[in-house]
Chains A and B, each alone.
Chain A
Amino acid sequence: MSFLVLDRLTKKFGENTVVDALSFSVEKGEFISLLGPSGCGKTTTLQMIAGFVDATSGAVTLEGRDLLKVKPAQRGLGIVFQSYALFPHMSAAENVAFGLEMQRVPQAEREARVKQTLNLVGLSAFAGRYPRKMSGGQQQRVALARALVIKPRILLLDEPLSNLDAKLREEMQIELRQIQRTIGTTTILVTHDQSEAMSLSDRIVVMNAGRAEQIARPHEAYERPATSFVASFLGKTNVFGAALLRQGDTTFAVIGDGRWPVAHIAAERARVTVRPEKIGFGDSVACSMGGRIKMRVFQGNHWLYQVETPSGLVTVTRPNTGEAASEEGATVRVTWRAEDMVVQPEAS
């Protein structure tokens, strides 16, 4: 039995189904992300686990016990809110101590644990500071310390880094991961930022319109997206319409003037997605398609090309190896390995 299990969890606001029979399970100590565009139901899911929103149907069980029957105040979950929701009239230390006070932890132990947790998030020098006098990153750390100090059974993070600037966000990502590894708290992160989800989590639940499109490890979801939504949401991708051609025992996907061997699919046409970094330029005719470089953009560690082909624009990224890059206007053949394609039958 998994640590936390969501079983066909559903939330309807009137006629509008926000979370639609969502099921997944989380192992103890795991870091899992709910990733999706805004309005996909990820925050509502988190709020149902926290108990701030009542589920319409379905179940949430934590260590085999029905969590939905427990009052929010008794669930013992640590939550970091997007707005941090710090108590503005309390200093950092008082904010962190609040949860322990509610648990009636004796003062001596309380002080020790507050100190230890502020230390963990690197804020030991700011214990007496009020939230208004702290930077966004510092407030974030106080919020994290406040959630962690009660030794929560699960740590819930609701877009915790979205209010920070890009550089700070990256630093906090690394720190968050380190802290989570150190204390080993089971963590659920809600985010719309695919790079955040990929760099932090053990597994990602990619959500769209209240449903889980794919539940997989970050690498797997990126390389083997289950649906074209996952493919386009996780990083950049090229999507082609391909005709399926059967020749003897082999099936080929025909794109432009090129063709690639694929596993047999019972359909006439297919959608093929290929990541830009998997595409290269080559001379051979096998597994390649002719085109002309329309635009070339230098992006530091790599070049970005837009190649015009009979099947539409193809985005290609090539690492900047220091060798001469192909010029704009040049006629090229774009090529990729058959195993780098994701082929899905197209409904005709």
Chain B
Amino acid sequence: MSALAAPHRRQFTPWLLSGPAVLLFVGVMVVPIAMTVLLSFHDFSMSKGIQPVFILRNWHEVLTDGYFHEMFLRTLRISVIVTVACIALGLPEAYILNRMAPRWRSLFLLVILGPLLISVVARTLGWALLFGGETGLINKTLLRLGVIDSPVPFMFTETGVVVALTHVLIPFMILSVWTALQRVDPQTENAARSLGASQTTILRRIVLPQVMPGVLSGAIIVFALAASAFATPAIIGGRRLKVAATLAYDEFLNTLNWPLGAAVAVLLLVGLIAIIVGSNRLIERRYAQVFQ
């Protein structure tokens, strides 16, 4: 090979090497999203189907109709509550996990990760089997024992969706916090103790601030997955309790109004990106100086 050709080749090598991945990314990610965005501006009528024109009617409807407001507010509410519940339960769980003897830790790590190996649908149906109406196992037992007079309302309630989603998503929070905990020098706890700090003070002022980045990144994952979750709200919430994801699904497959469904889906995507990017900025600004 000639020496003259070398600089020329070097210039293109990065492009050639990353080419296949870029093509795949554009093909399966950018193009479908762009098409969905375009679709949300098309017209739809029962008689003529989808019209490839540019109108703002779908967006106007999604942004002004109270029905859609309710759906999006519910999605936001459920996601926030699920995120808070995952932090409240996952943070102590990760701390305990981190302090376990290695033998027990690997066992309990398996217990925590185990549910991830089972389909979300199967796990959610499990909740339905336990609490579904009068035939659900727990409801039936409690009714028989006379503890309750009527079945515990679970199916088609927001509480039910929150409980099931928390169960599905908590491993992500635990893993995220646990990773952060592993980077904490255990001697910092001893150092604080020798300086006269109580166990509560150590947790609040020494451990928690050090794992905060882990908590926040876990919160972002959980929030994004909760807001875009489909299977769990579809099974527990059903038609009666729709969230953004099940709403888009219904528009696409039941009313066949693809453009309106696309507008719902794009709005969910934009909202999620705004919230995630916003909170990421917040984390970076707050912790940049300390954690790099």
Contact = CB atoms under 8 A, between A and B. Distances in A.
Interface residues of B: mostly helix, strand, loop or mixed? helix
Contacts of A89: 209-210, 212, 287, 290-291
B188 A87 contact: yes
B206 A87 contact: yes
B187 A83 contact: yes
A103 B190 contact: no
Contacts of B210: 87-89
B188 A102 contact: no
A338 interface: no
A73 interface: yes
B185 interface: yes
A130 B289 contact: yes
A24 interface: no
Interface in B166-214: 185, 187-188, 190-198, 201, 205-206, 209-210, 212
A281 interface: no
A150 interface: yes
Contacts of B212: 89
Interface in A101-140: 102-103, 130, 132-133
A79 B290 contact: no
Contacts of B194: 50-51, 72-73, 75, 77-79
A74 interface: yes
Contact of B191 (A74, A81, A103, A132): A81
Nearest to B196: A102
Contacts of A298: none
Interface in A270-303: none
Contacts of A190: none
Interface string A82-105: 010111110000000011001100
Contact of B198 (A51, A73, A88, A133): A73
A74 B198 CA distance: 10
Contacts of A146: 191, 195
Interface of B: 185, 187-188, 190-198, 201, 205-206, 209-210, 212, 287, 289-292
Interface of A: 50-52, 72-79, 81, 83, 85-89, 98-99, 102-103, 130, 132-133, 146, 150
